[in-house]
Structure 1
Amino acid sequence: MNRRRTPRSASAEELLSTLQHLTARARQEVELHQARVELAQALQRNMLPVALPSFPGLETAARYAPARHGLDIGGDWYDVFLLPDGSLGLAIGDVQGHDVEAAAFMGQIRIAMRAIASTAADPGEVMGRTNDLILSMGSSLFATCTFFRLDPVTRDLRSARAGHVASVWATADGRSGITSDAGGLPLGIEAGQQYPVTRRTLDAEGAFVLLTDGVIEGPSLSIGDGLERIRRLVDAHCGDTAEELAEAVLRAAVLTGHEDDAAVLVLRHGPVPTGPR
């Protein structure tokens, strides 16, 4: 009669060896992930502008924060730059995804938009050409974005939007609102897109605030409610400096419990200047 053999119990040495092997693998994976996070952080820091330009009567300020748990880095960006005709270009956007790939893609979009804006005056054309250039790169990522072109003398502000969240504004005389500009698809989805241009004049003292959805949306806060919350905040702090207002908006983003990174770009403007150009 055959007797069934009892499985041999693993020895203490074998169990210890297995545990050491699993621990080493886990440590390697943690170190690899940490390296990717640190690389994304470095890309983010080096691809965002170090200093923002300003004009008499105009202030700009920006803030960026990673996601609440500190790992989702690289998707959001902002930019402010001078154009050859003396206008001011302002952009804010959000790349799908995070980590190193999103940070690198963000840098490509920022550089491409700067280059195109220096040769195309119409914000809709800037957005359309940037979209087509992104598609030619063959990336699987896409991005939402809003681009503004401001004449610092006349305060003529023209903008185009590619699937991005609305902006918020307020004036010193007590008016405030949320923009409802028409727009097109996010960048990097479909070639040949047309992006309508919205035109407004910053004819009174006030603030115009650009932001990403990480500022206004959280697990228990919808985009609409978040925008209204920021509108009230900007209205209440309209007299603050651009730096103070940007800091206040970013603090409000923390209260959403946001699971995405967040970017804020503030344009603080005085009355339209008088006199010769």
Structure 2
Amino acid sequence: MGGFSVTGGSGRAPRRGMRLGTELAQIAEQLVVLARGQNRLHELYEAVISRDQDLSDVLELIVRTAMDLVGARYGALGVLDDAGEQLREFIPVGLSETQARTLSGTGLPTGRGLLGYLIAHPEPVRVKDIAAHPASVGLPPGHPPMHCMVGAAVSIRGRVYGNLYLCDREDGRPFDAHDEAMIASFAEAAGLAIDDAALMRQTQMDAEHFQRMLLPRLTDLRPLLSAAVYRPAVTPRHIGGDWYDAIRLPGGTVAAVIGDVVGHDLQAAAAMAQTRNMLLALLHYDPTQCTAEILTALDRAVEDLTANPVTTLCLARFEPDVSPDGSDTGVFRMRWSTAGHPPLLLLSPDARPRFLFAQPDLPLGVDSAVRRHEHTRSLPPGATVIFYTDGVTEHPDRSIEQTMALLAEHADRLEHLPLQELVETLADQHPSDGHDDMALLAIRTPTPG
């Protein structure tokens, strides 16, 4: 049995076995890269679908994902103009702060050199030596040296949207055919992600415009003054159900309302419009009915006629207080009823701001059979009543007592401002984290003279 060998004695099998082992290792490495790429693509689509990412953020995420797939040191995405001839946006990744600052004054690349070559030839390209390529025109001053490149066009619905460029592998090796195929496939997937992000962005803009169209333009309510402001959420971008209105009723009284439909989509905006219109009909049908009775009727109508979600709401009616001899006293009486809504904030010329805590009752859409309550308060001349939605005061790191105290503090400091400026400044200085949309409505009683 002497001389037994697993090679069969030919001496060639070890070399074939070594080569096979190397190829299997490369295949295993490629499978790992493909799996990582699949995970990153999944993360990319999650970012788009969640609407947490703006389009510019998605573009940068695409570049970083592509760099990770092939281990590139630098990457960039050039977005073409409508004519498809020049760059209108360029997102570079991998530059140091100093390099980025140095190149910030050079403006967008003009589309010459290899960038222009890829624009003119929208197909995958792999360059081993950038400087030796016939289309190369060199790099601008302050630009880091780059030696090899792989790139591919990003297309959306058959039209070239831009080009993805990657330069210099981290391991110092040139890009290979596998890298080129990987980036070409990724560029196709990136086009779908960009298209989805752009469509979501447009849908969001259209929905927000739709919601703003539903909000009323306040009419002249003299002698009372009125002002309102609406602000959409900062992040994530969504459509909310916040709304307000203030109208003059037959008989000279004024009704003011603010509400918030649960939800952050078009259904919430549509429910807001339905609820508002039904409330206006009820107010005009019987303007003498107390606010609690009106909310009870509204709750039943919403329950019987719609599938609207839960809604919080505060309805108030302002009426002048008349002396026994029929003369105007200059004092207004406010009657209001609350359906699970935050308390009103009262600013008086001769007193500290105070919240009008009262029995909040249930929101609309919970139980229309539960009795509701009306509250009454006299308002001195020059008093301001501020209605607001919970987006003004909600903050995950602060208690509601803290944010309400901050709101009162801001309002006290701004009370002297004209009413529209007051509500806009309050919206700018809101104590919330901005995660929800917000609305503010203010009613001010007249001052003597």
Provide TM-score, normalisation by structure 2.
0.55
> Does the alignment pair 1:33 with 2:210?
no
Equivalent position of 2:318 in the other structure? 150
Tell me which amino acid in the other structure corresponds to 2:396.
P
CA distance in 2, matches of 1:14, 1:222: 54
Tell me which amino acid in the other structure corresponds to 1:24.
G
Provide TM-score, normalisation by structure 1.
0.87
**Mapped contact 1:43–1:74 kept (Cα < 8 A):** no
CA distance in 2, matches of 1:231, 1:18: 56
Tell me which amino acid in the other structure corresponds to 2:294.
V
CA distance in 1, matches of 2:375, 2:446: 21
**Mapped contact 1:215–1:252 kept (Cα < 8 A):** no
Equivalent position of 2:347 in the other structure? 170
> Does the alignment pair 1:189 with 2:366?
yes
How far residue 129 of structure 1 moved from its aligned partner, in angstroms, is: 1.4
Equivalent position of 1:260 in the other structure? 436
CA distance in 1, matches of 2:279, 2:257: 9
Change (3 A) 1:110 1:14: same
Change (3 A) 1:272 1:192: farther
CA distance in 1, matches of 2:219, 2:236: 25
Equivalent position of 1:160 in the other structure? 337
- What whole-Å deviation, never above 9, does each CA across 1:82-127 have from its counterpart, x for those lacking one? 1122211101111111122211111111111111111232111111
Equivalent position of 2:410 in the other structure? 233
**Mapped contact 2:221–2:247 kept (Cα < 8 A):** no
Larger radius of gyration: 2
How far residue 181 of structure 1 moved from its aligned partner, in angstroms, is: 1.1
State percent identity of aligned pairs: 27
Equivalent position of 2:111 in the other structure? none
Higher relative contact order by CA 8 Å / sep ≥ 6: 1 or 2?
A: 1
**Mapped contact 1:52–1:61 kept (Cα < 8 A):** no
Change (3 A) 1:193 1:245: same
Tell me which amino acid in the other structure corresponds to 2:439.
A
> Does the alignment pair 1:22 with 2:199?
no
**Mapped contact 1:168–1:209 kept (Cα < 8 A):** yes
Equivalent position of 1:55 in the other structure? 222
- Given the alignment, which residue of 241, 245, 249 partners 1:83? 249
Change (3 A) 1:234 1:127: same
> Does the alignment pair 1:118 with 2:284?
yes
Equivalent position of 2:230 in the other structure? 64
- Given the alignment, which residue of 60, 79, 94 partners 2:260? 94
CA distance in 1, matches of 2:191, 2:307: 34
Change (3 A) 1:31 1:132: farther
How far residue 17 of structure 1 moved from its aligned partner, in angstroms, is: 5.3
Please give the secondary structure, in 2, of the residue aligned with 1:80: strand
Deviates further, 64-73 or 78-87: 64-73
How far residue 217 of structure 1 moved from its aligned partner, in angstroms, is: 1.8
- What whole-Å deviation, never above 9, does each CA across 1:116-143 have from its counterpart, x for those lacking one? 1112321111111111222224425211
- Given the alignment, which residue of 204, 207, 210 partners 1:43? 210
Change (3 A) 1:67 1:207: same
CA RMSD of aligned residues (A): 2.6
**Mapped contact 2:302–2:308 kept (Cα < 8 A):** no
Equivalent position of 1:128 in the other structure? 296
CA distance in 2, matches of 1:272, 1:134: 42
CA distance in 2, matches of 1:61, 1:209: 10
Change (3 A) 1:186 1:69: same
Tell me which amino acid in the other structure corresponds to 2:428.
R
- Given the alignment, which residue of 269, 274, 282 partners 1:108? 274
Please give the secondary structure, in 1, of the residue aligned with 2:196: helix
Deviates further, 128-137 or 82-91: 128-137
Change (3 A) 1:171 1:103: same
CA distance in 2, matches of 1:125, 1:232: 34
**Mapped contact 2:236–2:435 kept (Cα < 8 A):** no
How far residue 22 of structure 1 moved from its aligned partner, in angstroms, is: 1.9
Change (3 A) 1:29 1:248: same
CA distance in 2, matches of 1:224, 1:112: 33
How far residue 16 of structure 1 moved from its aligned partner, in angstroms, is: 4.6
Gap runs ≥5 in structure 2: 1-19, 35-177, 323-331
Please give the secondary structure, in 2, of the residue aligned with 1:15: helix
How far residue 60 of structure 1 moved from its aligned partner, in angstroms, is: 0.6
**Mapped contact 1:203–1:272 kept (Cα < 8 A):** no
Tell me which amino acid in the other structure corresponds to 2:346.
W
